[in-house]
Amino acid sequence: MVRAVSTSDTFETATFSGENLICRRGGRLVFTGLGFSVASGGAVVLRGPNGSGKTTLLRLMAGLARPIAGRLNWSGAALADPEAHGRHLRFIGHLDAIKPAFTVRENLAFWADFWGTRETALVVKAMEAFGLAALADFPARLLSAGQRHRLALARLIASPAPLWLLDEPANTLDDRSLNALTQTIADHRARGGMVVLASHGADLVTGGTTLALDKFTPTNVMPWDET
Amino acid sequence: MHKYANPTQFMRIANAIYPWVAGLCLLLFAAAIPVALMFSPPDYQQGETVRIMYIHVSSAWLMMMIYGIIAANSAMFLIWRHPMASIAARASAPMGAVFCALALITGMLWGQPMWGTFWVWDARLTSTLILFFLYIGYIALADAFEDSERGDKAAAVLALVGSVNVPIIHFSVEWWNTLHQPSILKAGKEGVGSSVHGSILLPLFLMMGAFTMFYFALLVLRLRSELLAAKIRNARLSQIAGHSAAQPAE
Amino acid sequence: MSVFTALLSRDLKLALRQSADSLTVIAFFAIATVLFPFGVGPEAEILSRIAAGVVWVAALLAALLSLDRVFTVDFEDGTLDQLLLNGQSMTFVVLAKVIAHWLTTGVPLIIMSPILAITLQLPAEGYGTLVLALLLGTPTVSLVGALGAALVLGARRGGVLLSLLVLPLYIPVLIFGTAAVEAALTGMPSAPMLSILGGFALIAITLCPFGTAAALRQAAE
Taking CB atoms and an 8 Å limit, are C169 and B161 in contact across chains? Answer: yes
Taking CB atoms and an 8 Å limit, are C151 and B176 in contact across chains? Answer: no
Output the DSSP codes for A83-128.
HHHGGGEEEE-SS----TTSBHHHHHHHHHHHTT---THHHHHHHH
Chain A neighbors of C10, CB-CB under 8 A: 99, 110, 114
Chain B neighbors of C64, CB-CB under 8 A: none
Q: How far is CA C199 from the centre of its chain?
A: 16
Q: How many angstroms away from the CA of C146 is the closest CA of chain B?
A: 12
Return the closest-CA partner of residue A92 out of A65, A121, A55.
A55
Nearest-CB residue to B8 (from A48, A49, A227) = A227
d(CA B142, CA B153): 8
Complex prediction ipTM: 0.89
Q: Does B172 touch chain C (CB under 8 A)?
A: yes
Q: How many angstroms away from the CA of B1 is the closest CA of chain C?
A: 22
Chain A neighbors of C2, CB-CB under 8 A: 113-116
Chain A neighbors of C90, CB-CB under 8 A: 83
CB B88 within 8 A of CB B227: no
Chain C neighbors of A111, CB-CB under 8 A: 82
Give me chain C's average pLDDT, please.
Answer: 93
Taking CB atoms and an 8 Å limit, are C77 and A91 in contact across chains? Answer: no
Task: Return the pLDDT at A11.
Answer: 87
Task: Return the pLDDT at B166.
Answer: 87
d(CA C135, CA A102): 31
Listed by start position, the domains of chain C span: 2-220
Return the closest-CA partner of residue A59 out of A94, A34, A28.
A94
Q: How far is CA B33 from the centre of its chain?
A: 21
Nearest-CB residue to A101 (from C2, C18, C220) = C18
CB A177 within 8 A of CB A131: yes
Q: How many angstroms away from the CA of B81 is the closest CA of chain C?
A: 13
With CA atoms as reference, the chain B residue closest to A66 would be B81
Residue ranges of alpha helices (H) inside C18-43 are 19-40
Q: How many angstroms away from the CA of B121 is the closest CA of chain C?
A: 13
Query: Which of C141, C152, C165, C208 best tests the B interface by mutation, with the highest count of B CBs <10 A?
Result: C165
d(CA B146, CA C153): 12
Taking CB atoms and an 8 Å limit, are B241 and A214 in contact across chains? Answer: no
d(CA C214, CA C117): 39
With CA atoms as reference, the chain B residue closest to A226 would be B1
Domains and CATH numbers, chain B: 2-7+24-228 (1.20.120)
d(CA A48, CA A31): 12
Mean pLDDT by 10 residues, chain A (227 residues): 52 89 81 90 89 89 89 86 86 93 94 88 92 93 93 94 92 88 92 90 79 78 43
Give the number of domains in chain A. Answer: 1
Asked whether residue A4 is domain-assigned, the answer is no
Per-residue pLDDT averaged across C191-210, rounded? 95
Taking CB atoms and an 8 Å limit, are C155 and B154 in contact across chains? Answer: yes
Nearest-CB residue to A28 (from B4, B5, B241) = B241
Chain B neighbors of C152, CB-CB under 8 A: 141, 144, 154
Q: How many angstroms away from the CA of C153 is the closest CA of chain A?
A: 16
Gyration radius of chain C over CA positions: 18
* Better-predicted residue by pLDDT, B53 or C215: C215
Asked whether residue A154 is domain-assigned, the answer is yes
Task: Return the pLDDT at A2.
Answer: 42
Query: Which of A200, A215, A219, A225 best tests the B interface by mutation, with the highest count of B CBs <10 A?
Result: A219
Sheet containing A77-78, strands listed edge to edge, beginning at the edge strand earlier in sequence: A28-39, A15-25, A69-74, A77-78
CB C138 within 8 A of CB C177: no
pLDDT in tens, B165-206: 888 988 888 888 777 654 444 444 444 444 456 677 888 889
Give me chain B's average pLDDT, please.
Answer: 82
pLDDT in tens, B119-163: 888 888 888 999 999 999 999 999 999 888 889 999 999 999 999
How many CB pairs below 8 Å do chains A and B form together? 66
Q: Which residues pair with A198 in a beta bridge?
A: A46, A167
B198-207, C201-210, C211-220: the lowest-pLDDT one: B198-207
A5-9, B32-36, B181-185, C99-103: the lowest-pLDDT one: B181-185
Chain B neighbors of C221, CB-CB under 8 A: 150
3-state SS class at A95? coil
Return the closest-CA partner of residue A214 out of A67, A72, A71, A51.
A51
Query: Which of B67, B158, B179 best tests the C interface by mutation, with the highest count of C CBs <10 A?
Result: B158
Length of chain C: 221
CB A18 within 8 A of CB A72: yes
CA–CA distance from B91 to each of B84, B130, B210, B224, B226 (Å)?
10, 21, 19, 10, 8
Residue ranges of alpha helices (H) inside B81-197 are 83-115, 123-142, 148-180, 186-194
Chain C neighbors of A95, CB-CB under 8 A: 76-78, 81
Q: How many angstroms away from the CA of B47 is the closest CA of chain C?
A: 36
Taking CB atoms and an 8 Å limit, are A91 and C82 in contact across chains? Answer: yes
pLDDT in tens, C123-168: 999 999 999 999 999 999 999 999 999 999 988 888 889 999 999 9
Whichever domain contains A20, its CATH number is: 3.40.50.300
CB A164 within 8 A of CB A156: yes
Asked whether residue A215 is domain-assigned, the answer is yes
d(CA A9, CA A3): 9
Residue span of the structural domain in which A189 resides:
15-222
Q: Using CA atoms in the order B20, B26, B30, B36, what is the torsion angle rounded to 10 degrees?
A: 100
Asked whether residue A10 is domain-assigned, the answer is no
Residue C54 pLDDT greater than 50, yes or no: yes
Q: Which residues pair with A34 in a beta bridge?
A: A21
Q: How many angstroms away from the CA of C47 is the closest CA of chain A?
A: 42
Taking CB atoms and an 8 Å limit, are B144 and C158 in contact across chains? Answer: yes
Q: Does B231 touch chain C (CB under 8 A)?
A: no
Q: Does C175 touch chain B (CB under 8 A)?
A: yes
Q: Does C7 touch chain A (CB under 8 A)?
A: yes
Q: How many angstroms away from the CA of C16 is the closest CA of chain B?
A: 32
d(CA C23, CA C47): 26
